[in-house]
Amino acid sequence: MKNVLVVSNDNAGRKQALMHRKELHKFLLKRCQKFKFISIDELETTELDDFDTIFAIGGDGTVNKVVKSITVNKAFDKVIGIISCGTANLLASKLGLPSSLNKTLKIIDNNKIKEVDVMNINGNYSILRCGIGYDAEIICKTPQSLKNKFGYFAYFIAGIIFALRLTPKLYNITYDNKVLETAATCLIIANAGNMYKNWFSVSEKCEVDDGLLDVFILKAKNPVIFFLEFLLILFGIKKNNRRALYFKAKNIKIQNNWTVCHIDGEKNNLKKEININLIPEKIKMFCK
């Protein structure tokens, strides 16, 4: 870690990113030959060649933009350090990076690095998950005012509200040369399946470097049945049944007429066939 680029989303974490910038500046002064701070809006026009390490100050959406920049520029020698201060911070949690800045910097000082898979979703790059239906409704339609007031708990509140109006849609799904047609209220295709920090996961033994996509299909449309399936997930019981399907795949294609989608927490209008492929172990990240 000699030459460092710091990419900051200054609106993240109710302006917590601004405070993290000051502490990170002190940390880098003692360790680096050169470092530069930029805003997330400047990333697309910034040359990455001069840097060996990129810090992302923000949430999962900020990390996603850094991953996209590295992938598009084929700058796979760079190492990402996540300074989490977003609403969810799911990837940081998956990598064992805490919300405490001081504890995160101590972990980064240990210089342990994991090579993480990347999802290519119709040319959009994701390191976390793509959600369609119920999952996307929560992520895309939870008001910012609610997130500012309650933080990540806002998604839990929205989840209860949206569960009362589940709407199934018909999907044609092809994965690893198998075909599935099903009516579902939610599809999640994940590289990391953990939700609500690391409280539970919608996949079984999901790892970010296993070369596999983890797919969760929720078919329940009655709120009572939905909450029953949700409780089973909370207790780690993930079995295929008439309410839900779980499986792993190397690639997946999804067709339907259409519904809202999110990629790593950012709304995306994919109004055509969705093709998701995995690029194995391409992104280097600091981890615990």
> Any idea what DSSP says for residue 205?
S
Whole-number Å distance between alpha carbons of 250 and 276: 9
Question: How much is the pLDDT for 106?
Answer: 96
Query: Is 138's pLDDT higher than 70?
Result: yes
Question: How much is the pLDDT for 131?
Answer: 93
100-112 pLDDT, tens digit each: 999 999 999 999 9
* Token representation of residue 213: 């996509």
Whole-number Å distance between alpha carbons of 188 and 261: 10
Q: What crossing angle do the helices spanning 101-109 and 16-29 adopt, rounded to 10°?
A: 30
Question: How much is the pLDDT for 286?
Answer: 98
Q: H or E element: which one contains 134?
A: helix 134-141
Q: 151: closest CA among 84, 57, 65, 243?
A: 84
Question: How much is the pLDDT for 212?
Answer: 96
Quick one: pLDDT band at residue 14, thresholds 50, 70, 90?
A: low
Question: How much is the pLDDT for 195?
Answer: 82
CB distance 193 to 214 below 8 Å: yes
Whole-number Å distance between alpha carbons of 73 and 40: 16
Q: 239: closest CA among 188, 191, 204?
A: 204
How many whole angstroms from its chain centre is CA 49? 26
173-206 pLDDT, tens digit each: 999 989 999 999 999 999 998 887 777 888 888 8
Q: What percent of the chain has pLDDT over 90?
A: 61
For the purposes of burial, counting CB atoms within 10 Å of the CB of 9, is it exposed (0-12), middle (13-18) or buried (19 or more)? buried
Q: H or E element: which one contains 247?
A: strand 244-249
Q: What is the dihedral of CA 259, 159, 253, 70, to 10 degrees?
A: 100
Question: How much is the pLDDT for 141?
Answer: 86
Question: How much is the pLDDT for 13?
Answer: 66
> 195-199, 213-217, 227-231, 252-256: which has the minimum mean pLDDT?
195-199
The residue extents of the domains of the chain are 3-117, 126-280
Query: In this structure, which CATH number among 1.10.357.10, 2.60.200.40, 1.10.1510.10, 2.60.40.420 belongs to the domain 126-280?
Result: 2.60.200.40
CB distance 154 to 162 below 8 Å: no
Q: Going by DSSP bridges, is the β-strand pair 186-190/194-195 parallel, antiparallel, or unpaired?
A: unpaired
Which residues, 6 or more positions from 39, have their beta carbon under 8 angstroms from its beta carbon?
7, 8, 9, 10
Quick one: pLDDT band at residue 145, thresholds 50, 70, 90?
A: confident
Q: 214: closest CA among 184, 248, 245, 238?
A: 248
CB distance 86 to 59 below 8 Å: yes
Query: Is 172's pLDDT higher than 80?
Result: yes
Quick one: pLDDT band at residue 28, thresholds 50, 70, 90?
A: very high
Give the position of tokens 């342990």: 112
Query: Over the chain, what is the mean pLDDT?
Result: 90
Which residues, 6 or more positions from 132, have their beta carbon under 8 angstroms from its beta carbon?
186, 187, 188, 254, 259, 260, 261, 274
Query: Is 148's pLDDT higher than 80?
Result: no
218 versus 11: the higher-pLDDT residue is 218
Fold of 3-117: Rossmann fold (3.40.50)
65-107 pLDDT, tens digit each: 999 999 999 999 999 999 998 888 999 999 999 989 999 999 9
